[in-house]
């Protein structure tokens, strides 16, 4: 006969534990200390077994019967409910250990092992360990698209739209790692396509008019700040390499016999070595700096230490001191200046792209460019350096006379 709530409440403890049957193998075990537990007795493969269903009143009569019925269904499917319960517990514990934060650690470890640049590692750590910190302790398989969207929208509301979009992308990369290692059923960031606002993209400021660029070059020549900053800006204008590549330039990378600056792959954005032809003017800058870096390998060492490169902000700060605001010119803008002016002067666009070390999606074309355009690049870099001297000599742009009233 099935138990009622009043039957259970009236079941007083005895000297020894005893059972109250509810039917179909389910019973209530009453302990001498007044505690009461649901148990389900069944047979599997001819062996009698027992399944702990839970304590009363935490597990009500209806819940206990539902669990008994689910166990009986498993038996009908040929599954031992006690074994299945153990497997479910192990799966839950595994899921709890497979947190988003742990997958992030593995993802970052893979990035580093694959030779990611220091700047790439720093950005990914900031995005995943700082901005995505609210997800760190969550089981990765339980994180929903709505949960991620809430995090991204909070960042978006601060005006950092591009940051929100980048974070969505890198979170997606972490989930893809979790998916292929069977720790998550899918990537919830895929459902967020179109859910974020467009980034307010703003190109890096650059001077692209030749006369104004000449004024910038004269300002650099007259700069009275730290010599390595002045030299680095000159070298940047002559090579139009990336600022980080110039700041980290080493004496060991200068091949005087080949008139080449060989930037190793670990310091380039594309993670591939990049050779830069050195003009006569670029060699003059190197030779001027050479005696100042005898104690270390860096060509443009920091003000504070010969073993450390110039800081990331040093070049831009110098430009500000010369009177060029952030909306007018940046250290990275030298690349845009060279690209624009050289294209306007109808240099071969492929040669310009090869000099800028832009990575083509087509692997064959990328290899071909590196091999085929070297002579053209050597000639172009010397022509460019000569053009800079011409730009310096251009008279300043005159102000227009006031209009007659």
For residue 127, give the nearest of 143, 148, 97, 141 by alpha carbon.
148
Question: Would you call 27 a catalytic residue per the annotation?
Answer: no
Of residues 67, 168, 242, 247, which has the active-site annotation?
Answer: 242
Of residues 269, 360, 366, 370, which has the active-site annotation?
Answer: 269
**CA–CA separation, 241 vs 234, rounded Å?**
11
Of residues 17, 271, 368, 392, which has the active-site annotation?
Answer: 368
Of residues 234, 335, 373, 377, which has the active-site annotation?
Answer: 335
Question: Would you call 269 a catalytic residue per the annotation?
Answer: yes
Question: Would you call 223 a catalytic residue per the annotation?
Answer: no
Question: Would you call 335 a catalytic residue per the annotation?
Answer: yes
Question: Would you call 274 a catalytic residue per the annotation?
Answer: no
Of residues 74, 332, 373, 377, which has the active-site annotation?
Answer: 332
Of residues 358, 360, 366, 370, which has the active-site annotation?
Answer: 358
Active site residues per annotation? 242, 269, 332, 335, 358, 368
């Amino acid at each position: 006969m099935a138990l009622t709530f009043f039957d259970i409440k009236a079941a007083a403890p005895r000297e020894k534990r005893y059972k109250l049957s509810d039917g179909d193998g389910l019973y209530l075990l009453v302990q001498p200390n007044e505690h009461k537990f649901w148990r389900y007795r069944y047979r599997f493969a001819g062996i009698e077994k027992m399944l702990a269903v839970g304590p009363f009143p935490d597990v009500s009569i209806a819940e206990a019967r539902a669990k008994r019925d689910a166990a009986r269904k498993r038996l009908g499917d040929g599954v031992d409910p006690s074994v299945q319960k153990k497997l479910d517990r192990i799966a839950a514990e595994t899921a709890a250990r497979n947190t988003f934060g742990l997958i992030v650690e593995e993802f970052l470890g893979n990035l580093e092992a694959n030779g990611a640049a220091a700047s790439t590692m720093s950005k990914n750590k900031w995005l995943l360990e700082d901005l995505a910190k609210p997800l760190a302790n969550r089981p990765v398989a339980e994180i929903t698209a709505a949960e991620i969207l809430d995090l991204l929208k909070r960042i978006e509301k601060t005006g950092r739209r591009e940051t929100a979009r980048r974070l969505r992308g890198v979170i997606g990369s972490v989930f893809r790692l979790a998916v292929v290692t069977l720790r998550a059923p899918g990537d919830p960031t895929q459902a967020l396509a179109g859910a974020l606002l467009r980034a307010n993209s703003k190109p890096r400021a650059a001077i692209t008019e030749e006369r104004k660029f000449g004024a910038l070059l004269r300002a650099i020549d007259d700069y009275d700040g730290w010599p390595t900053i002045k030299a680095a800006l000159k070298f940047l204008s002559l090579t139009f390499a990336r600022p980080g590549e110039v700041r980290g330039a080493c004496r060991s990378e200068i091949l005087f016999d080949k008139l080449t600056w060989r930037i190793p792959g670990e310091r380039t954005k594309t993670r591939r070595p990049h050779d830069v032809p050195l003009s006569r003017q670029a060699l003059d800058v190197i030779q001027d700096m050479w005696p100042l870096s005898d104690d270390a390998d860096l060509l443009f060492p920091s003000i504070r230490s010969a073993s450390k490169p110039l800081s990331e902000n040093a070049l831009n700060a110098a430009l500000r001191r010369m009177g060029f605001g952030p909306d007018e010119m940046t250290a990275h803008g030298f690349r845009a200046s060279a690209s624009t002016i050289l294209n306007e002067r109808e240099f071969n666009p492929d040669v310009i792209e090869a000099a800028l070390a832009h990575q083509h999606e087509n692997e064959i074309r990328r290899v071909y460019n590196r091999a085929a355009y070297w002579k053209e690049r050597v000639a172009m870099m010397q022509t460019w350096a000569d053009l800079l001297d011409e730009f310096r000599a251009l008279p300043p742009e005159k102000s227009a006379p006031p209009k007659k009233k």
